[in-house]
C-alpha cells in the first residue's frame, strides 16, 4: 500500500511585497530578505527618533509601527471591490497621510518650538490618547469586517454597519487615526506635531466628504436616516 501523503508537496513560506507600481513574491529562504529589510528599517527609524529628540517620542513611533503592522496584516481580509475612487484621489490622501506621519516625528527646522511644557502628566496623557485611539480604530475595523477598504469604494455585498462604535460615529476609524496623531503631538510637545495634526485633519475631512457621497450613492435613503442619528467623528460635537 502506497502512502499518498508522501507525494504531497508542502509550499515553502512566502512573503508578498507590495510597493507602488511593483509587486513581487519571495519564497523559501528569499522570504527572509524583505523581513530583514523591514526590521532593519524599523530599528533605524526608532533609533534616529530616539537620538534626535529629548522626549519619549520613540515609544510613540513603536506604537505606530505595531499599529500599522496589524493594519497591514488584516488588510487582505476585505471582500472584493466593485467600484472605487480614482487612483489620483487615493494618492492625494496617501501623500497627506505620509506627510503627516513624517511631520509627527521629524523635528523640522522652525517647527521645534514647544507648545506644551515638558511634564510627565502631559506625556502620560499623550500615550493614553494614542493607545485608546488605536484600540478604537481596531475595534471599529473588526465591526466593519469584510466591508472595510483602504480606499473609498463600494464592495461586493456591501453592508451598512451600525454596530459597535458605528452606532454613534459614522467614521470611528478616522476618529481613532486623528486621536493617534493628537496623542503623538502631546508626547512630542513641539510645533511639528501640531502641524501633523492639521495635515491629517485636512486629509480625513476631505476623505469623509467623498466617502459620504459614495455611501449615499450605495445605500440611498438608508444612509440618510443613519446620518440623522449619528455623528461623523465625535458624538455631540462633529
User: What per-residue confidence (pLDDT) applies to 24?
Assistant: 46
What's the pTM?
0.79
* Angle formed by the axes of helices 57-74 and 32-52, nearest 10°: 150
What is the three-class DSSP state of 77? helix
- C-beta of residue 129 within 8 angstroms of C-beta of residue 122: no
* Contact predicate 201/234, CB 8 Å: no
Q: If you average pLDDT over each of 7-21, 35-49, 200-214, which comes out highest?
A: 200-214
Strands 22-27 and 81-84: unpaired
Q: Are 238 and 125 in contact (CB under 8 A)?
A: no
Residue 48: the pLDDT is: 57
Extents of the domains making up the chain: 11-52, 56-228
Fold of 56-228: 1.20.120
Distant-in-sequence, close-in-space partners of 208: CB < 8 Å, separation ≥ 6? 171, 174, 232, 233
pLDDT at 96: 92
**Range 39-68 average pLDDT:** 70
pLDDT at 60 > cutoff 70: yes
> Grid coordinates representing 16?
508578498
| Span 58-74, average pLDDT | 85
Enclosing H/E stretch for 19: strand 14-19
Could you tell me the end-to-end alpha-carbon distance of the chain, in angstroms, rounded to an integer? 71
Q: Which is more confidently placed, 77 or 223?
A: 223
Identify whether the C-beta of residue 170 lies closer than 8 Å to the C-beta of residue 231.
yes
pLDDT (average), residues 101-114: 89
Residue 128 confidence (pLDDT): 96
What is the per-residue pLDDT for 178?
Answer: 96
Q: For residues 125 and 106, what is the distance between their CA atoms, to the nearest angstrom?
A: 21
Measured from the Cβ of residue 166, the count of other Cβ atoms closer than 10 Å reads 18
Asked if pLDDT for residue 87 goes beyond 60, the answer is: yes
Print burial letters for 70-92: b (CB count within 10 Å at least 16), e (below 16). ebeeeeeebeeeeebbeeeebee
Do residues 44 and 58 touch, judged by C-beta distance below 8 A? no
User: Taking residues 20-29, what's their average pLDDT?
Assistant: 49
Q: Would you call 181 exposed, middle or buried from its count of C-beta atoms within 10 A (0-12, 13-18, 19+)?
A: buried
The answer to whether 164 touches 143, Cβ cutoff 8 Å, is: yes
Assigned C-alpha cell, 37: 529589510
Task: Give the pLDDT of residue 41.
Answer: 59
Task: Over range 183-207, report the average pLDDT.
Answer: 94
Amino acid at each position: 500500500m502506497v502512502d499518498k501523503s508522501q507525494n504531497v508537496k508542502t509550499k515553502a513560506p512566502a512573503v508578498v511585497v507590495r510597493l507602488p507600481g511593483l509587486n513581487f513574491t519571495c519564497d523559501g529562504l528569499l522570504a527572509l530578505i524583505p523581513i530583514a529589510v523591514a526590521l532593519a528599517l524599523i530599528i533605524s527609524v526608532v533609533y534616529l527618533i530616539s537620538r534626535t529628540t529629548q522626549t519619549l517620542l520613540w515609544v510613540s513611533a513603536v506604537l505606530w509601527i505595531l499599529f500599522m503592522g496589524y493594519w497591514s496584516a488584516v488588510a487582505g481580509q476585505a471582500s472584493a471591490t466593485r467600484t472605487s475612487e480614482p487612483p489620483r484621489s487615493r494618492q492625494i490622501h496617501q501623500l497627506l497621510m505620509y506627510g503627516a506621519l513624517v511631520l509627527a516625528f521629524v523635528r523640522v527646522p522652525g517647527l521645534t518650538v514647544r507648545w506644551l511644557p515638558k511634564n510627565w502628566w502631559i506625556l502620560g496623557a499623550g500615550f493614553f490618547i494614542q493607545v485608546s485611539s488605536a484600540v478604537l480604530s481596531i475595534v471599529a475595523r473588526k465591526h466593519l469586517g469584510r466591508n472595510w477598504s483602504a480606499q473609498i469604494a463600494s464592495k461586493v455585498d456591501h453592508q451598512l454597519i451600525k454596530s459597535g462604535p458605528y452606532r454613534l460615529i459614522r467614521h470611528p476609524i478616522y476618529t481613532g487615526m486623528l486621536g493617534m496623531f493628537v496623542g503623538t503631538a502631546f508626547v512630542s510637545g513641539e510645533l511639528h506635531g501640531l502641524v501633523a495634526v492639521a495635515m491629517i485633519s485636512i486629509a480625513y475631512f476631505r476623505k469623509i466628504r467623498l466617502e459620504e457621497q459614495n455611501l449615499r450613492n450605495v445605500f440611498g435613503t438608508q444612509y440618510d436616516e443613519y446620518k440623522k442619528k449619528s455623528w461623523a467623528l465625535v458624538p455631540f460635537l462633529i
